[in-house]
Amino acid sequence: MSVMSSREFNQDTGKAKKLTEMGPVIITDRGKPVHVLLSFEDYQKLARQGKTIAEMLSMNAEDDIDFDPPKLEDFGFKPAEFD
């Protein structure tokens, strides 16, 4: 993994692209990591690893959730009276 400052990256993007052949390149701004430059191949590997947010939130047909919400009376609440 390589590290470049934003200034170095702006001055020599070719060097940054070559460094991605060896692994991710962290680009810093004022010493703090702010971006990561990857080869497209590395990006595809990362993208295939996990599920998308939609896949994580989706439910299968066989998934079943039992939910029986409590009634207001169970909390001691009473309906308002408007007399």
pLDDT at 81: 84
Domain of 13, in residue numbers: 1-52
- Single pTM value for the model: 0.57
Q: Which two tokens stand for residue 37?
A: 């430059």
Which 3-state string (H, E, C) describes 15-74? HHHHHCCCCCEEEEECCEEEEEECCHHHHHHHHHHCCCHHHHHCCCCCCCCCCCCCCHHH
CATH of the domain at 27: 3.40.1620.10
Q: Is residue 27 part of a domain?
A: yes
Q: Is residue 47 part of a domain?
A: yes
Per-block average pLDDT, block size 10, for the chain (83 residues)?
A: 94 95 94 94 82 74 74 72 82
- Nearest alpha carbon to residue 31 among 13, 56, 4, 12: 4
Q: Is residue 77 part of a domain?
A: no
Q: Is residue 80 part of a domain?
A: no
Q: Is residue 43 part of a domain?
A: yes
